[in-house]
């Protein structure tokens, strides 16, 4: 359920992390504006988008922050992580290097964000299964090993699991905050 009026009861900051090119910006644009850009180039600058959703008749504003190109230079500041209640740790299922980078990204999230930060692993570009380099099993093993809140495979191109992924992180945060 979605509502575009401006007032809300809770504000949750959610961050997107992972290597450049994995699909973070398109995941966010699909979720917040229902847009996909096949030739998106990394734009540098702080970027965030919001949506207001309803849980248990409370209006919750999800404020989602994208690294907006800074990840390329590992130039992400503490302010990016500060206060994040949720994190989508993103890799590209067709790029095993982006999977190898995950432990570094995870360490940054754990070092810099809220202790209770709810982290979900996201395998992006699920529409490109014929080029898959990272199996679902491998991703699920990572989730177990690092005690994350789950694994989702998304496609910003065909929209699959995009709504469900943000909904999931929202519900996990909400339950923890109660
Ligand atoms: P970011 O650097 O992590 O923000 O990645 P972008 O969102 O800019 O995406 C990098 C490239 O991958 C762009 O060319 C996108 O069009 C492409 N891309 C992003 N998401 C998907 C997806 O779900 N499916 C496919 N096929 N391509 C995608």
Tokens of 43: 């734009």
Alpha-carbon span 166 to 62, nearest angstrom: 9
pLDDT digits (tens, 9 = 90+) for 116-127: 899 999 999 999
How many A from CA of 121 to the centre of ligand 1?
17
Residues flanking ligand 1, CB < 6 Å = 20-26, 37-40, 42, 124-125, 127-128, 155-157
Alpha-carbon span 164 to 135, nearest angstrom: 20
What ipTM score was computed for the predicted complex, to two decimals?
0.99
pLDDT digits (tens, 9 = 90+) for 12-28: 999 999 999 999 999 99
Mean pLDDT of the chain: 91
pTM over cut 0.95: no
Q: Give the position, in ligand 1's atom list, of the atom nearest the Cα of 37.
A: 16
| CA-closest candidate to residue 165, choices 26, 67, 43 | 26
Q: Which residue has the tokens 């248990």?
A: 56
Alpha-carbon span 64 to 12, nearest angstrom: 8
């Amino acid at each position: 359920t979605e509502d575009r009026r401006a007032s809300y009861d809770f504000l949750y900051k959610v961050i997107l992390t992972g290597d450049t090119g994995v699909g973070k910006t398109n995941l966010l644009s699909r979720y917040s504006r229902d847009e996909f850009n096949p030739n998106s180039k990394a734009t540098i600058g702080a970027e965030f988008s919001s949506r207001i959703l309803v849980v248990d008749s409370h209006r919750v504003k999800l404020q989602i922050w994208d690294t907006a190109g800074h990840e390329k230079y590992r130039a992400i500041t503490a302010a990016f992580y500060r206060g994040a209640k949720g994190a989508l740790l993103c890799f590209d299922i067709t790029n095993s290097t982006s999977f190898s980078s995950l432990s570094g990204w995870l360490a940054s999230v754990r070092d810099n964000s809220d202790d209770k930060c709810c982290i979900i692993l996201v395998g992006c570009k699920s529409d490109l299964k014929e080029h898959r380099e990272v199996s679902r099993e491998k991703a699920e093993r990572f989730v177990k090993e690092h005690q994350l809140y789950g694994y989702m495979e998304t496609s910003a191109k065909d929209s699959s699991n995009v709504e469900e992924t943000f909904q999931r992180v929202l519900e996990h945060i909400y339950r923890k905050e109660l």
